[in-house]
Amino acid sequence: MKKFIVSIMFALSASLMTTTAMASGGVELEDAKVDIHNQPSLQRGAKYYVNYCMGCHSLNFSRYNRVAADLGLTEEQVAKNLIFTRDADGELEKPGALMKNGMSQKQSAEWFGAPPPDLSLVGRSRGSDWIYSYLKAFYVDPTRPLGANNTVFPNAGMPHVLWELQGWQEKHCTKGEGEHAVEHCELKLTKAGSMTPVEYDQTVRDITNFLTYVGEPANLHRSTYGIFTLLFLVLFAVVAYLLKKEYWKDVH
């Protein structure tokens, strides 16, 4: 029996490892260290997102005012800092609107080779480590139509939109000696951007944090519900016990 359990656990962990490796395309991902309870980080992430990503990637399942409430922002702050998209009449969107953009799927597919997907659920489908590593993995590649490639998502259609902040990296590969030597590649920053690498990492972490929150907004409150549920169960157990004692007192 013990052997059986051990072999099942082994099979499970092996399959988990392969899925993780497959999800990252074999590239090692960095730990994003996101914390959706860090509100200032979420606020910065939302600001970067609307400035640098929203033009191409909508968040069709989110509304501005829900994001505002969750991030501790007033509707005025949202209208001033987050809303840049316009409705069909050319008016700026209202805080109750969904976070859509005017990007045409067909046209963008022609421009980038693939349409920029809606990112409402990317925090769940790709995971935060993937997003974090992806945004750090763009490098100069003159063979690509937009001059950039990505080690986490090879030949991605997305340009390196944060290049002004990060600067440009180049890929350097070295191959060890011998017939079966594996090639080892790393990215080196060759042209500095407006941020230091530490600042850039934090920016990318803020964006990733925001996308992780957007993927499952209820997570923000779930742990509080859990505590209340447990408290309720404890109180209910006391009441049930007293009731049981009351019912049975004449029987014995």
Whole-number Å distance between alpha carbons of 118 and 58: 5
Query: 185 labelled as ligand-binding?
Result: no
Residues pairing with 185 in the sheet: 173
- Select 67 or 156, whichever has its Cβ closest to ligand HEC: 156
Query: Which span sits near ligand HEC by CB under 6 A: 13-21, 52-60, 191-199, 244-252?
Result: 52-60
Interface of this chain with ligand HEC, residues 71 to 130, rule: CB under 6 A: 112, 114, 116-117, 119, 122, 125-126
The stretch among 53-61, 91-99, 176-184, 191-199 that binds ligand HEC (CB under 6 A) is 53-61
Residue from 79, 98, 161, 165 binding ligand HEC (CB under 6 A): 161
Q: Which residue's Cβ lies closest to ligand HEC?
A: 53
Q: E strands along the chain, which residues?
A: 59-63, 98-99, 138-140, 148-150, 167-175, 183-192
Q: Tell whether residue 57 is a contact of ligand HEC (CB under 6 A).
A: yes
Q: Give me the residues paired with residue 184 across strands.
A: 174
User: For ligand HEC, which is the closer residue by CB, 13 or 107?
Assistant: 107
Q: Is 158 in the site for ligand HEC (CB under 6 A)?
A: yes
DSSP assignment of 145-208 equals TTSEEESSSTT-S---TTHHHHEEEEEEEEE-SSTTPPEEEEEEEEEE-SS-HHHHHHHHHHHH
Per the CB < 8 A criterion, the answer to whether 138 and 79 are in contact is no
The answer to whether 123 touches 219, Cβ cutoff 8 Å, is no
* Residue 156 found at the interface with ligand HEC (CB under 6 A): yes
Shortest Å, Cβ 49 to ligand HEC: 6
Structure tokens at 76: 């005025």
Smallest separation, CB 201 to ligand HEC (Å)? 14
Is 137 or 158 the residue whose CB approaches ligand HEC more closely?
Answer: 158
Token pair for 212: 């992780």
In this structure, the dihedral spanned by the alpha carbons of residues 46, 48, 49 and 53, taken in order and rounded to 10 degrees, is 170
- Closer CB to ligand HEC, 83 or 214, in the complex: 214
User: Does residue number 53 form part of the binding site for ligand HEC (CB under 6 A)?
Assistant: yes
The answer to whether the CB of 188 falls within 8 A of the CB of 169 is yes
Closest-CA residue to 71 (of 234, 214, 237, 208): 214
Task: Count the residues of the shown chain that bind ligand HEC, applying the rule CB under 6 A.
Answer: 23
Q: Does 162 bind ligand HEC (CB under 6 A)?
A: yes
Residues belonging to the binding site for heme c are 53, 56-57
- Where does this chain bind ligand HEC (CB under 6 A)? 52-53, 55-57, 112, 114, 116-117, 119, 122, 125-126, 131, 134-135, 156-159, 161-162, 207
